[in-house]
Amino acid sequence: MPVELKHVTCTYSPGTSQEIRAVTDLSLKIQDGEFVAVMGRTGSGKSTLIQLVAGLLEPDSGQVLLDGLDIHARGYDRSALRRRVGIVFQYPEYQLFEITVEKDVAFGLKHSGLKPEEISLRVRLALERMGFSFEEIRKESPLCLSGGEKRRVAIAGILAAHPGILILDEPVAGLDPLARREFLQMIRQFQEEGMTVIMVSHNADAVAEYAGRVLVMAEGRLEMDGDTRTVMSDLQRLRSLHLDTSAAGQAAELLRQRGVEIPDQTVRYDELLGALTEMMVKS
C-alpha cells in the first residue's frame, strides 16, 4: 500500500484574510514497511503533511495516491482509507471519551460490519499488544489512567482496525524516558511486522534511533529526504533549518573536533559506543 504525494499544495482558509499556505508543491513516495520520521521546526507543515496522507485534508492542487489510486477521486472508497490508515494525533489521551477502556478501543470498529465476537477479539489483542492485561484494564474508566496509559489505550483503538499505515504526530512528547523507549520499541515491532510507520517528532534521538528515513519540512516545503544516517549527519543543512542532529551525533562531532577519529555518519548511541570501544581496544 505505497503512499504517494504528487505536487501537493494545501492552504488553510483559502480566499480569506487568514489564508495560510501550509504545504507547497510536495512530492514524495513512501513504500510499504518503511519507518519514516518527519522533522521540522514548529509551523513547518508536518501535521498538515500527515493529515494529507490520512485523507483528512484535501489538497488545493496535486494528488494523494494510495496504492496508485487518487484518494480524492470520485468513487474512491473512503471507508477503506479510514481502515487502512490509522492516525494518532498529538496527545491522543484527550480523545478518550467512552466510559470503559474496552468500549473506547472498540469505538472505531462500531460501523465496521465486523461481528461482535471479532470486535471483542480485536480489542483484547490490541490492548495486549499495547502491554495491558485485558481483564485488568477492560472495565477501567479511561479518565483514571496515567497519561502514558491513556496514550497506549488510544493507540490500541487505532491498532484494533488493523491499519497498514500508522501515522503518529509527536507520539513521545511528555513521556518519561523509560515509557518513551518502551513506546518506540513497540512501534518498531509493528514496523518489523510489516506496518508502514510515519512519525512526526521533534526528538532527534528518537528519530536517529528508530527511523529508516527522515523527511525535513521547512516553511511548507520538503527540504530534506533521505536515509536517517545521511540526513542526521548533515549538520550544516540541519542547522540552517534550525534543527540539530541527535545527542550521539553532536557528541561525535565534538569528538572529531578534538581529533578523535569517529566514523562519518555516526548518529546513534550504539554506533558511537562501538567506535569508542574499538578505539580503546586498539590502543
Ligand X SMILES: Nc1ncnc2c1ncn2[C@@H]1O[C@H](COP(=O)(O)OP(=O)(O)OP(=O)(O)O)[C@@H](O)[C@H]1O
Q: Which residues bind ligand X (CB under 6 A)?
A: 12-13, 20, 22, 40, 42-48
- Segment interacting with Mg ion (CB under 5 A) among 7-15, 40-48, 215-223, 271-279: 40-48
Cα 199 from Cα 187, distance rounded (Å):
10
CB of 43 to ligand X, least distance (A): 4
Q: How many CB atoms are closer than 10 A to CB 281?
A: 7
Closer to ligand X by Cβ: residue 20 or 121? 20
Question: Which of ligand X, Mg ion, none does residue 43 bind to, with CB < 5 to 8 Å depending on kind?
Answer: ligand X
CB of 47 to Mg ion, least distance (A): 3
Q: Which stretches does DSSP call E strand in 106-258?
A: 165-169, 196-200, 213-218, 221-227
Closer to ligand X by Cβ: residue 14 or 263? 14
Question: How far, in Å, are 56, 82, 144 from residue 163 at the CA level?
Answer: 16, 8, 27
CB of 56 to ligand X, least distance (A): 11
Question: Which of ligand X, Mg ion, none does residue 59 bind to, with CB < 5 to 8 Å depending on kind?
Answer: none
Q: In 3D, which of 168, 156, 164 has the Cα closest to residue 47? A: 168
CB of 220 to Mg ion, least distance (A): 12
Closer to ligand X by Cβ: residue 93 or 104? 93
Per CB under 5 A, 47 contacts Mg ion: yes
Spatial strand order of the sheet with 20-30 comes to 20-30, 3-12, 61-66, 69-70
- How far is C-alpha 129 from the geometric centre of its chain's CA atoms? 18
Question: Which of ligand X, Mg ion, none does residue 11 bind to, with CB < 5 to 8 Å depending on kind?
Answer: none
- Segment interacting with Mg ion (CB under 5 A) among 46-54, 96-104, 156-164, 268-276: 46-54
CB of 105 to ligand X, least distance (A): 26
* Inter-residue contact 190 to 203 (CB < 8 Å): no
Q: Coil, helix or strand for 199?
A: strand
